Amino acid sequence: MAITAQMVKELREKTGAGMMDCKKALTETDGNMEAAVDFLREKGIASAAKKADRIAAEGTTFIASKGNTAVILEVNAETDFVAKNEMFQQLVKELAEHLLENKPASVEETLEQKMANGQTVSEYINAGIAKIGEKLTLRRFEIKTKSDNAAFGEYLHMGGRIGVLTILEGTTDVEVAKDVAMHIAAINPKYVSRDQVSAEEVERERQVLTQQALNEGKPENIVHKMVEGRLGKFFEQICLLDQSFVKDPDQKVRKYVESKGGTVTGFVRYEVGEGLEKRQENFAEEVMSQIKK
């Protein structure tokens, strides 16, 4: 049976599912509208689509590694309660395993890939939405590799509210790498070292500090020296290696890592929901909305 645009439109209105999913459902069911609705429900797509406009800013970060490859990912849910759910945790773990095995380049590519169970990642997440009852999203991930003479530092803070993955070359001591990851979780540096900070960012900070010093009434002939000193403090705030090590504030992170024979070559720090709009709970409004139904 020929599948018309009008049929696709009608199914979208009934289920809220995407156009391609609706077209596929109608094709699979030979144009039978009710069977197509059931097809989408069975796949978990209809219920997932209805939740698509909800805010999912809770969830968890997770880290998995195998040999010289590691992945850090963030998967979001609508509530912190669901983020602690065993079914949700299993979904996150299986997504991590898939990412490690297949090494996709983007979230979009990931969603189209087939998992070991025969489902695409998108279908697997939609099935999870149908079972759990909340919007779930694979928000982001990064896959990192290291040499044999290196270590991954893996640290999840507060059950995954913050996740940090570090890479230390020159040492295979995972405890040292984890110590650095814990420091990053606590202090939240933006860069490993000063040479990663762009000239534009440094110059912008220099201009701000210069104006601050002039506003304080400092003589122009000593402003330059003052600004360079304050720039050092700026680098200490944003650069990992310049920071005082949280476990031993008397030494910098650089000295600690060097004393263990290592070099920090990179890190990834994820904090659940950072940059996302948070859902505002208003229980009075929620109760009233239920009464009015």
Asked if residue 46 has pLDDT above 90, the reply is: no
- The DSSP symbol for 114 reads B
Range list for CATH 3.30.479.20 in the chain: 55-145, 147-196+244-275
The three-state secondary structure class of 293 is: coil
- The DSSP symbol for 191 reads B
CATH of 55-145, one of 3.30.479.20, 3.40.470.10, 3.40.50.720, 3.50.50.60: 3.30.479.20
What pLDDT is stored for residue 280 in this prediction? 52
Tens digits of per-residue pLDDT, 175-205?
A: 999 999 999 999 999 999 999 999 999 999 9
Q: What are the distances in angstroms from CA 117 to CA 94, 102, 123, 161?
A: 11, 14, 11, 29
Residue 251's H or E segment, with its range, is strand 248-252
Q: What are phi and psi of 210, to 5 degrees?
A: -65, -45
Share of the chain above pLDDT 70, in %: 91
Its CATH class, for the domain covering 5-50, is: mainly alpha
Range list for CATH 1.10.8.10 in the chain: 5-50
Which range is least confidently modeled, 20-34, 65-79, 169-183? 20-34
What pLDDT is stored for residue 21 in this prediction? 86
Q: Which amino acid is at 244?
A: S
Range list for CATH 1.10.286.20 in the chain: 198-238
- Which is more confidently placed, 224 or 183? 183
- The DSSP symbol for 164 reads E
Asked if residue 279 has pLDDT above 60, the reply is: no
- Other CB atoms within a 10 A radius of the CB of residue 161 amount to 18
Read off the tokens for 62: 């997770």
- Please, which pLDDT band fits residue 285 given cuts at 50, 70 and 90? low
Rounded CA gap, 140 and 61, in Å? 10
- Which is more confidently placed, 218 or 235? 235
Tens digits of per-residue pLDDT, 78-136?
A: 988 888 899 999 999 999 999 999 999 999 999 999 999 999 999 999 999 988 888 89
- Please, which pLDDT band fits residue 50 given cuts at 50, 70 and 90? low
Global pTM value: 0.77
Read off the tokens for 254: 């650089």
Give me the architecture of the 147-196+244-275 domain, per CATH.
2-Layer Sandwich (3.30)
- Other CB atoms within a 10 A radius of the CB of residue 247 amount to 13
Q: Which amino acid is at 242?
A: D
- Please, which pLDDT band fits residue 47 given cuts at 50, 70 and 90? low
What pLDDT is stored for residue 53 in this prediction? 64
Rounded CA gap, 116 and 113, in Å? 10
- The DSSP symbol for 116 reads T
What pLDDT is stored for residue 286 in this prediction? 46
Once rounded to an integer, what is the mean pLDDT over residues 229-239?
95
What pLDDT is stored for residue 278 in this prediction? 65
Which range is least confidently modeled, 41-50, 246-255, 263-272, 283-292? 283-292
CATH 3.40.50.20 fits 198-238, yes or no: no
Mean pLDDT of the chain: 90
Residue written as tokens 């602690």?
84
Within 13 Å and on the Cβ side, how many CA atoms surround 120? 14
For residue 92, which of 282, 286, 272 has the smallest C-alpha distance? Answer: 272
Rounded CA gap, 71 and 66, in Å? 9
The three-state secondary structure class of 24 is: helix
Helix axes 19-28, 33-42, angle to 10 degrees: 120
